[in-house]
Amino acid sequence: MITGAWVCLLAPLAGFLAILLAGTRITRRQAGIVSTASVFVGFAGALVAFLDAWSRDPDDRTELTTAWTWLKAGEFEVGLQLLVDPLSLVMMLIVTGVGGLIVLYSNGYMAGEDEERRYFAYMAFFVFSMLMLVMGGNLLLLLVGWGLVGLASYLLIGYYHDRTSAVAAAKKAFVINALGDAIMALGFFLLVAKLGSLDFGVVFDAAESGELSDTVVTLAALALLGGAVAKSAQIPFHTWLPDAMEGPTPVSALIHAATMVTAGVYLICRTHPVFEAAPDVQHLAAIIGMVTLLVAGVVALVQWDIKRVIAYSTMSQIGYMFVGAGVGAYGFAMFHLFTHAFFKALLFLAAGMVIHHLHGEQDIRKMGGLKSSMPFTHVTFLVGTLALIGIPPLSGFWSKDAIVSSAGAMGGVLGWTLYVGCLVGALLTGLYAMRLYFYVFRGEPAAGAAPAAAEHGHHGEGPQSMKIPVAVLAVGSAIAGLLQIPGVWEPFDTWIDPVAEPLVHPSVAEDYLTSLFAVTLGTIGIYLAWRAFTAGRELVRAGGVRTALEHKLWFDELYDAVFSRPAQAIAVGLRDRFEGPVVQGGLDEVAEGTLRGAAATSAAQTGLLRTYALAITISVAVLALVFLVVR
């Protein structure tokens, strides 16, 4: 199991280093092949580890291995540790499996000049970082992986570096992620101060046994939540995700749909003992999830960019996962993460095929009627959309509704509020997802779209390297849900159980009742969207509401005014008042002083012999005097 895990971790790293060191000596195609191969090798390693774990007793599936002691400061020790257990194995399979498919897709999508070598290197690097995050055996290594995925995200969002909008988006993503990292690090400092260790075992035991005071545990949990919220683009740290769509579409699929943004959910599930010891924070996580899923769902109703709609959808679905983790249904949250990876990546990749087919057009108002010209994409996109909405028997149905019924099972004011909120979210999902589908694939082709489609007609919808991953993901989206049928078989839940035991257990009846509500609402949403589209109307027409939604509830403007402007003003002020006169002036003074000293000293070098002779004589006289006095 451990060997498989090491192979899984190191293969993408090897791929990254290979492309990096080969530099300009390899072509784009070769870089793409190396990258894809390395990720698939990682998948093979993960598979081996998984099969080994499967063959064991459920209680025997956790292994913590230490490579060497990485950091030692007094009594604080951190080893280079890998933790392979059911939770990390799920993530490893998702990251390398879906990741591999997406990198394969990129080979076709990113056709162009040789600069794409950089892209493939970054993709391999990202996979490695994400694996480091999920396989980290202690909090510090998790943080290392956490930071590295933030870096990979920055590098890939800003991939089109000559576009100022892309660069700005990359910076925004990185800054907000760094904010989350800093909050998490503060939490870690607290833990180190109180416990002297960042090992999972030590921290979790201390949290469970009550060794840490309530305040400390709450603060630590808050810090973890802060990091998770920033990484997973939940409110209030969500503003970076829509802008992150500036990156290439496969990047959006991998990082901002399937893996990186779900890292927050993974974190909560992994560190659940800390959250369980601070129940208020855990409930806060659920509330944040619900707020995000509603806000994102509503804002998605007025977006015109195909990728932005899907981005808000991602935000919304992760909100579901946060609700799941917040009520203690860790298995269900992870299951939704699993199915979401399939259908969200599918949606992004299919959207990529549309964009590719239309030569870079992303505005859905300029699309339409692609059902006939892109049949393969049409079918796969529809599968993904229906899975997203949660129509049985597709995967989303099984995973999403489990979370909702868990909220109901929790009960209380909070539980039922979450329950209702999630159901409203199901309605919203139906609305915005179908709206997107109708605009892109149904109706009349927009003026200008037809010639582009005709040009591309000669090579079909896309190369095989793009179609195969999409097909695989479509199949996955369809059947992956069947891994968890309440009341019949629940292998996923049982798999996760030893690592993260759920706090709530909805009964089978509750499950099916919830599903009924959800599917009904989803279908209502589809119907309303269809009605609006065929009538040529927009779904949200009320002026004030529409403006608010179009401005994404003015979050960006708020942050700009409160954080961005003052920060810039401070920076400019410091530069003018402090750095200029004091720092630069100080350095100038030092330089000038040195020059003056040198000039003064060189005045002694008169070049006249008599000066030197005089100096010698004076020294002799002084010495004689000294001798006289001393003796």
- 61 three-class SS: coil
Q: Report d(CA 364, CA 435) in Å as an integer.
A: 10
Q: Which of 459, 610 has the CB closer to another protein?
A: 610
Q: Is 590 in the site for another protein (CB under 8 A)?
A: no
How many of the chain's residues bind another protein (CB under 8 A)? 17
Q: Report d(CA 113, CA 94) in Å as an integer.
A: 30
**Minimum distance from residue 628 beta carbon to another protein (Å):** 5
Stretch in the footprint of another protein (CB under 8 A) among 177-185, 477-485, 557-565, 619-627: 619-627
User: Which stretches of 110-163 are DSSP H helices?
Assistant: 116-135, 139-157
Q: Which of 542, 604 has the CB closer to another protein?
A: 604
Q: Which of 561, 614 has the CB closer to another protein?
A: 614
**Minimum distance from residue 611 beta carbon to another protein (Å):** 7
Q: Is 625 in the site for another protein (CB under 8 A)?
A: yes
Write the CB contacts of 556 (distance below 8 Å, at least 6 apart in sequence). 239
Q: Which of 562, 618 has the CB closer to another protein?
A: 618
Stretch in the footprint of another protein (CB under 8 A) among 58-66, 330-338, 440-448, 620-628: 620-628
Q: Which of 570, 613 has the CB closer to another protein?
A: 613
Q: Which of 482, 626 has the CB closer to another protein?
A: 626
Q: Which of 24, 602 has the CB closer to another protein?
A: 602
Q: Is 412 in the site for another protein (CB under 8 A)?
A: no
Q: CA distances (Å), 463 to each of 34, 105, 357, in order? A: 19, 9, 11
Q: Is 613 in the site for another protein (CB under 8 A)?
A: yes
Which one-letter amino acid corresponds to residue 559?
Answer: Y
Q: Which of 488, 599 has the CB closer to another protein?
A: 599
Structure tokens that stand for 623 in this block: 């010495």
Q: Which of 71, 620 has the CB closer to another protein?
A: 620
> Could you say which of 3, 55, 464, 617 contacts another protein (CB under 8 A)?
617
Tell which positions 444-463 bind another protein, by CB under 8 A.
Answer: none
Write the CB contacts of 4 (distance below 8 Å, at least 6 apart in sequence). 45, 46, 47, 48, 49, 50, 52
**Minimum distance from residue 589 beta carbon to another protein (Å):** 25
Please, is 617 exposed, middle or buried when counting C-beta atoms within 10 Å of its C-beta (0-12, 13-18, 19+)?
exposed
Across-strand partners of 276?
A: none
The answer to whether 310 and 346 are in contact (CB under 8 A) is no
Structure tokens that stand for 574 in this block: 């410091």
For residue 60, count other CB atoms closer than 10 A to its CB.
11
Residue 212 phi/psi, 5° resolution? -90, 145
How far does CA 439 lie from the centroid of its chain?
28
Q: Which of 3, 617 has the CB closer to another protein?
A: 617
Q: Report d(CA 452, CA 356) in Å as an integer.
A: 10
Q: Report d(CA 154, CA 162) in Å as an integer.
A: 14
> Could you say which of 561, 583, 587, 620 contacts another protein (CB under 8 A)?
620
**Minimum distance from residue 591 beta carbon to another protein (Å):** 20
Stretch in the footprint of another protein (CB under 8 A) among 19-27, 74-82, 441-449, 613-621: 613-621
For residue 140, count other CB atoms closer than 10 A to its CB.
22
Tell which positions 592-611 bind another protein, by CB under 8 A.
Answer: 602, 605-611
Q: Provide the greatest CA pair distance for the chain.
A: 117
Tell which positions 12-51 bind another protein, by CB under 8 A.
Answer: none
Which one-letter amino acid corresponds to residue 229?
Answer: V
**Minimum distance from residue 627 beta carbon to another protein (Å):** 8
> Could you say which of 545, 562, 569, 614 contacts another protein (CB under 8 A)?
614
Q: Is 621 in the site for another protein (CB under 8 A)?
A: yes
**Minimum distance from residue 605 beta carbon to another protein (Å):** 5
Q: Report d(CA 204, CA 76) in Å as an integer.
A: 17
Q: Report d(CA 373, CA 377) in Å as an integer.
A: 9
**Minimum distance from residue 600 beta carbon to another protein (Å):** 13
Q: Enumerate binding residues for another protein (CB under 8 A).
A: 602, 605-611, 613-614, 617-618, 620-621, 624-625, 628
